[in-house]
Amino acid sequence: MKIISYNVNGVRSAISKGFIDWVKAADPDVLCLQEIKCDEAAFDKQVFENLGYHSFIHPAVKKGYSGVATFTKQKPVSACIGCGEELYDTEGRVLRVDFPEYSVMNVYMPSGSSGDVRQDFKMKWLDFFLQHVEKEKQTLPGLVICGDYNICHQPVDIHNPKSNAKSSGFLPEEREWFSHFLSHGYVDSFRHFNAEPHNYTWWSYRAGARNKNLGWRIDYAIVTESLKDKLKRAAILPEAKHSDHCPVLVELG
């Protein structure tokens, strides 16, 4: 199973930049999109269905904001839209699809970069999310949790850790949460295969950051320990340029 996760920063914008041709060439079994910024009525599911995908969408209530969508070649056994907590579900942050051997959770974690109010919201979300996935794991042991986490876990995951030490997304409490999260039996699939620096998934639009590769690794494909032996490959795909993020890929055997 090949899974690709991609924060598209507006699905309609990405489609206007050739995204559908890219999906056709990449041909993932499961495609998880974050920050679709589009409600279900305005979402052109047909372009994905023409490629053979079943579509599942969880938009935010607020128009032009947040939202996740998952597309699968194989019809899932079941799909769960949302996390059951209205505070977060109004923002369209979680969508899970279940297959006989795996479940794939698509998540768009909040950013705290706009100020203290949203940073507090983010920290409360992180506490909730760990409890949520731990509960899910009890009945869905083969869990892939992919998406935009809005956190760089280690100094190797960010181009300038010293100057960003007080930046949302690299705060000590966020990084500590990430370590705590992984300690509950989860594996960062990319770091399972690759310990090298300068591997990023998001770049600011300012100052030519992407061309200089001055980025942050904030998009992940995390798997439960039970799937560790099934990991075949994990990669970052920076050549895809439909967004300020790039896709991440994980393959399971």
Say what the pLDDT of residue 231 is.
98
**pLDDT tens digits, one per residue of 79-104:** 999 999 999 999 999 999 999 999 99
Say what the pLDDT of residue 173 is.
98
Report yes or no on whether pTM surpasses 0.85.
Answer: yes
Say what the pLDDT of residue 85 is.
97
**pLDDT tens digits, one per residue of 41-91:** 999 999 999 999 999 999 999 999 999 999 999 999 999 999 999 999 999
Of 127, 136, 214, 143, residue with least CA distance to 178 = 127
Mean pLDDT for 192-209 is 97
Find the helix or strand (DSSP H, E) in which 126 lies: helix 116-139
Q: State the distance between the two ends of the chain, measured CA to CA, in whole angstroms.
A: 6
Is the pLDDT confidence value at 141 over 90?
no
Residue 194 corresponds to which amino acid? N
Q: Return all residues near 13 (Cβ < 8 A) that are at least 6 apart.
A: 37, 242, 243
CATH number 3.40.1640.10 is the correct assignment for the domain at 2-252 = no
- Considering the chain, what percentage of its residues have pLDDT values greater than 90? 99
Q: Give me the active site residues, please.
A: 148
Is residue 169 a contact partner of residue 161, using CB atoms and an 8 Å limit?
A: no
Cα 94 to Cα 28, 60, 103, 193, 232: the distances in Å are 20, 10, 13, 26, 25
Residue spans per domain, the chain: 2-252
Is residue 102 a contact partner of residue 142, using CB atoms and an 8 Å limit?
A: yes
